[in-house]
Amino acid sequence: MHFTSEHRLDDGLVERTFTLGEIPGTLWTTGSAPAPLILMAHNNGLPRTDARLVARARLTAANGCTVATIDAAGCGDRPRSPAAEQARAELRRAMRAGEPTDEIFESLVGPLVANAVPEWRTALDALLTLPEAAGPVGYSGWTALGIALAVADPRIAAAGLFAGGYVPRAQREQAPMVRVPLLFLLQWDDEGNPRQRALDLFDAFGSEQKTLHANLGGHLGTPSFEREDGDRFFARHLR
Amino acid sequence: MHFTSEHRLDDGLVERTFTLGEIPGTLWTTGSAPAPLILMAHNNGLPRTDARLVARARLTAANGCTVATIDAAGCGDRPRSPAAEQARAELRRAMRAGEPTDEIFESLVGPLVANAVPEWRTALDALLTLPEAAGPVGYSGWTALGIALAVADPRIAAAGLFAGGYVPRAQREQAPMVRVPLLFLLQWDDEGNPRQRALDLFDAFGSEQKTLHANLGGHLGTPSFEREDGDRFFARHLR
């Protein structure tokens, strides 16, 4: 793990970028004291420099967690495969034409999740060697990746998942194997995530402790108090 | 309004009972300073002395709200009408026999809600003359009564509603007229409240700000953190 930059932010947080082989990442800490670690990922692999992800990460770190994100293989700023680029173009075309998109979505997001999992686990190995990331470990964000990581890696102790109307087949099948406490957050009128599919996914999770939060409005309309609720969820399970 | 008893509790709260004509009630305050008022009612009119209602009221009062509850007409310890007693017996019989209960439920709970509304409004008139109940006013608890009160009384500024799988026809029809911020809490496997009906009710509310919370488990299994979430909801809207 090689740190490539370090900035002290106005609110006292330290924001560092790092590389781990080909994987670029960002780490936010309040200092050097041991703290729970939150892995934060954006839906469908948007770049780790996305303004909303960064704002969310900083607020959660300011609450006393160490927060980390990476651009995993095929995600964010990392090179995209020709197959993924073709699927993206095909997805745009099908949406414009009003055609079914499930299979195209599957061919795009299925491999994205599958390729991201080992890289997030590599990042987790490295992050847990840092004194300021003592664990336990929470996951926050992209539902499909959260399912895959929670099933693959027993170090994930709690997960906050967002949206979840479109999730690849493999992760829908894995949902009953998820056993960690869950906070599942959705927007009631999410234009990109069919409500019933998200509710069915919530129903399918194997966790004994699972909580659903839903708010009126579209995909980008999540009220700010939900981030605070998410922090309290992690505080209950990681401290 | 006539106070009939006063106790100072171990946590510093003052618990007083009162009568207002035929209406008996209980009031919890932290002191004499003006505070938001929460009207707290139990599903289908269980007595105001019910241990779970009292525990919830005290915790919310300890958070700095004035909390009041009453036994309205036909509810709690108040005399029950012969028609209601007959409906209750018929409901028990139909449930044992596995027969449909919607119409029996309607004949029992419809009048219960209709009769309770004017008495809660009378109580609200009186409560708002107290220096320690300055308003604004929140409502917490029984979904059907909360809908009817929020539609009938513009002084209700926010409502936290529980369950809501069985709600009388009149209140289902009123749901789109509810405009105040809502926190709608349900248990995912509530044995007495069909999930889909509760979700349909959430969908029907006219409020621009509405939040759904759902947790795994049966009717009595609500996790304790939901009371704290409710207090934060009221703090956002009543302070």
Residues of B with CB below 8 A from A236's CB?
Answer: 225
pLDDT value of position A165: 84
CB A57 within 8 A of CB A157: no
- Contact state of B203 with A223 under an 8 Å Cβ cutoff: no
- Please, what is the end-to-end C-alpha distance for chain A in angstroms? 26
pLDDT tens-digit series, residues B124-151: 999 999 999 988 999 999 999 999 999 9
Q: Mean pLDDT over residues B172-179, rounded?
A: 98
pLDDT value of position A69: 98
pLDDT tens-digit series, residues A83-141: 989 999 999 999 899 999 999 999 999 999 999 999 999 999 999 999 999 889 999 99
Share of chain A above pLDDT 90, in %: 87
Q: Per-residue confidence at B58, pLDDT binned at 50, 70, 90?
A: very high
Euclidean distance between CA atoms B33 and B46, whole angstroms:
30
- Contact state of B208 with A188 under an 8 Å Cβ cutoff: no
Query: Would the pLDDT of B123 be above 90?
Result: yes
Share of chain B above pLDDT 70, in %: 100
Euclidean distance between CA atoms B30 and A84, whole angstroms:
61
CB B36 within 8 A of CB B137: yes
| CATH superfamily, domain at B2-78+111-238 | Alpha/Beta hydrolase fold, catalytic domain (3.40.50.1820)
pLDDT value of position A31: 81
CB-defined contacts A:B, below 8 A = 47
Where do we find the tokens 């745009």? A92
Residues of A with CB below 8 A from B232's CB?
Answer: 225
Residues of A with CB below 8 A from B202's CB?
Answer: 188, 214
Look up the pTM and report it: 0.94
Q: Where are the domains of chain A?
A: 2-77+113-238
Query: Would the pLDDT of B218 be above 90?
Result: yes
- Contact state of B188 with A236 under an 8 Å Cβ cutoff: no
Phi, psi of A68 (to 5 degrees): -135, 145
Residues of A with CB below 8 A from B199's CB?
Answer: 199
Of A3-7, A79-83, A230-234, which range is least confident? A79-83
- Residue ranges of E strands in chain A: 2-8, 14-20, 23-29, 37-41, 66-70, 137-142, 156-162, 182-187, 210-215
pLDDT value of position B115: 94
- Contact state of A202 with B211 under an 8 Å Cβ cutoff: no
Look at B166 and B234; give whichever has higher pLDDT. Answer: B234
- Contact state of B215 with A213 under an 8 Å Cβ cutoff: no
- Contact state of A212 with B212 under an 8 Å Cβ cutoff: yes
- Contact state of B216 with A207 under an 8 Å Cβ cutoff: yes
Query: Would the pLDDT of A192 be above 90?
Result: no
CA distance B4 to chain A (A): 40
A42: DSSP letter: -
| CATH superfamily, domain at A2-77+113-238 | Alpha/Beta hydrolase fold, catalytic domain (3.40.50.1820)
pLDDT tens-digit series, residues B80-116: 889 989 999 999 999 899 999 999 999 999 999 999 9
Residues of B with CB below 8 A from A229's CB?
Answer: 229
Q: For residue A209, give the chain B residue with the closest CA.
A: B216
The DSSP string of chain B is -EEEEEEE-TTS-EEEEEEETTEEEEEEESSSS---EEEEE-GGG--TT-HHHHHHHHHHHHTT-EEEEE--TTSTTSPPPHHHHHHHHHHHHHHHHT---HHHHHHHHHHHHHHHHHHHHHHHHHHTTSTT--S-EEEEEEHHHHHHHHHH-TTEEEEEEE--SS--HHHHHHGGG--S-EEEEEETT-TTS-HHHHHHHHHH---SSEEEEEESS-TT---THHHHHHHHHHHHHH-
Query: Would the pLDDT of A80 be above 90?
Result: no
pLDDT tens-digit series, residues A45-78: 899 999 999 999 999 999 999 999 999 999 988 9
